[in-house]
Amino acid sequence: MSHYQKKNKFYIVRIVYHYIMTLNTKNKIKNLIVAVTNRCNLRCKMCTIWKENEKKDIDAYTIKKIFNSKYLDDDFSLTLTGGEPFLSPKFQDIIKEILVFKPEALKTVSTNGVTTEKILEFLRKYKGKFPNLSLSISFDGIHKNDLQRGKSKAKIMDTIERLKKEFPKMLIKVKLTITPINYDDIIPTYEYCKKVGIKFKVKLSESATNYTNKLEPWQPVWTEQMKKSIKNDLMKIGGEKVDSDEKSADFIKRTIMAMDSELHLKQCLAPFERIFVMPDCSVYSCIHLKKLGDIIDKKLCTIPKRIHSSDYINGVDNSAKEILKLLKINIKELQDLCFKSLKQAVNQSNKVLSDNLSKIAFNKGMVFVVGWGKSVDLFIKTMLSHIPKDKLAGCKYMSLKPDLKEGNVERINATHPILSKKNIQGSMKLLNFIKKAKEKDIVLILSTGGGSSMFEVLDSKVSLEQAKKTIKILLKNNVDCRLVNYTRRCCSEVKGGKLLRFVRAKRIITFILSDDILTGGKQRCAMHVASGPTKTYSLLGKQQKDMLKKLKDIKVTSILPDKLFSQTDSKRQLKSEKRVKHIVIFDNKRLINIIKKNLRALGIETKIRVTPYFDESSDVARQLFDEFKSLVDDNSKRPLAYICGGESTVNVKGRGKGGRVQELIGYLIKPLSKIPNSFVVGFGSDGQDYLKGIAGACADNNTYATAKKILNNCLNNNDTYHLHKELGSLIKSPQKKITVGDIIILFKN
């Protein structure tokens, strides 16, 4: 294995990912590139095509032969290049053949932009007939183009100007090939493209002995100063493109990586479903690798059979087996990837918060900031940075961290998950603070998971002891979050939208970090996170009766006064809610998508559970394992990750120690032993699986052999903490965490 490959595992993984993904696709070709001629009217320093004496042109019959191949994907894309394609005497015949067969397949015609009249004539003649057509023009710098390509700058710029004027909606791309000649002309050319409104692309010059350098190799000499200049310029461009053009930004990033690693360009990154046809009808999958065959006497369908041969794999300096080893991932690596994803989640949610705050006009009245929950500390700094100091009336928020007061910003320590006297006293501080807000003022609220027990002002008919006893019964009887929130709302003066009765401000914005794992969108999150202080929680008659029946069955109604459960939301309260705007800044689904993206970057096939789980732990374990086994059976040749989000409940039978994630992983230990090379990682995104310092647990297909003597006893006694401690499978809390529910990942190497 080469030094570069050892150093850059991502490169190898990406190659093999394409290889694996095409094993079951019957060698379908998705990208077809045809160099229609080797004729050229420029004299580029890094290319020798123009020096080739024997001129070769692909004809329409060859194109037809390619199109008749059963190995072309239904949605294949076609690129025509050269030499200079507009110099081919058979170009018009080829275009007619494409028009008959599949005009929407033609995506790009690559040109040097010098044959202006021929280009315009072609576009006028076939205007509107190729719906996906774009034009890629090679232009190597505002100042250095003529040094590198021969005298052509004025002609190219004239072509671009006329194209923009006559075909303003057409996608036009400029491609700059970076060499030691024009390395300092990148930014000026990029600025020119922005000014005239065309797309800008770059690539490092390369020596392709099968294509552009058949007669003599191109051997550029790069100094450290050149490399530094190129990287700085590309980083600037990539930073601007990252939001608007992710694909180009990614290519620029990999170009920088290539320079950092002194990447030998023969290590091709071409996907395995790509075919490159030369003017002499020879066929390549990558211009740097061995020829696959030709189309003179053969049909294209005979060519792809060689793509997956060992010769091809060796073309990227590795055997298939050696590469596939790198796709394996262990529990520790997956755990690290998840913790990396949590950091990204914190950054992403702060960005969403920042973007929304930047849209708020703080020109009228004062700003009152309040917040609560396990993750509220993550966002206070971002929140306050957007509010003018002279407009901030104050900020008070309830957190698990110690009391702290700095100027008009106060952090109030609270307990979780059981309500305490300290929480009620702190909540009264917050309530009295926002009561001071006038109609013209703004109230900004940060509501995160855990707020239900932190922010609470009890109904006068309910004592603290009654409330604590009620919550303990609800948790012990394994009821779902809907019933818990309904009960909390009935006992509270501030939940279920009741907080609005104390706020006069006409502008109220609640930013929500959602740990609500049931479906229902923004309104549902507003209703259930922290039991919805600014969102009413109305129930239909039948729903209310069902809730009451469940509460009677577990004897909650014998603790609390009957009058509490007959309350309804007043019309005034419902009307008051219209002044509130609810914004979800992050949730469980978005965290799953970050993990998915990180796994796919390693070449791992990922599947996401469509619906979150929320049943009892043993039932969830059965459901997840059955789904995972089915996926493994269907994807036996690929590494697979099955990502699930939610919050299971625990049926408390014993007096042991543990958390819902530890319990769920415990129930997965035995069934997982049936799938070789498999493991599971589970963690609470808030970094606390009930027990402080413990985020979750893990297990693999060999764990059962070690655990079987104690497993059943630990599960029956709800003592999964000591089970995982004995096995060494506890996951400690990460430094960065965010309260958006639990994550379970089942993995098959």
DSSP readout, 598-609?
HHHHTT-EEEE-
Mean pLDDT of 192-199: 93
User: Bridge partners of 283?
Assistant: 277, 293
**Omega within 30 of 0 (cis) for the link into 239:** no
Work out the pLDDT band at 487, boundaries 50, 70, 90.
confident
Closest to 375 measured CA to CA, from 106, 687, 150, 605: 687
The band of 139, judged by pLDDT with boundaries at 50, 70 and 90, is very high
- State the Cα–Cα distance between residues 591 and 39, nearest whole angstrom: 53
The tokens 């290889």 sit on which residue?
19
For 178-185, what is the mean pLDDT?
A: 94
Statement: residue 310 has pLDDT above 70: no
Percent of the chain with pLDDT over 90: 49
Q: Indicate the helix (H) or strand (E) that contains 735.
A: none
User: Which residue's structure tokens are 């009249």?
Assistant: 117
Give CA 221 to chain center in angstroms: 38
Mean pLDDT, rounded, for 667-688: 92
How far apart are alpha carbons 448 and 441 in whole angstroms? 23
CB atoms under 10 Å from CB of 5, counted, come to 19
Q: Is the model more confident about 255 or about 679? A: 679
Work out the end-to-end distance of the chain between its first and last CA atoms, rounded to an integer number of angstroms.
22
User: What are the tens digits of pLDDT across the range 311-367?
Assistant: 333 433 333 333 334 445 678 888 888 888 999 999 999 999 999 999 999 988 999
Buried b (16+ CB within 10 A) or exposed e, 384-402: bebbeeeebbbbbbbbbee
106-111: strand order across its sheet: 199-204, 171-178, 134-138, 106-111, 72-81, 29-35, 274-277, 282-284, 293-294
Give the model's pLDDT for residue 306. Answer: 43
pTM of full prediction above 0.85: no
In the block, tokens 């809390």 appear at 733
Return the pLDDT at 132: 93
pLDDT value at 731 more than 50: yes
- Domains by residue range for the chain, with CATH: 1-23+308-327 (no CATH), 28-230+271-301 (3.20.20.70), 331-341+589-748 (3.40.1480.10), 360-586 (3.40.50.10180)
AA letter at 128: G
Q: Which of 163-177, 237-251, 609-623 has the lowest mean pLDDT?
A: 237-251
pLDDT the model gives residue 516: 67
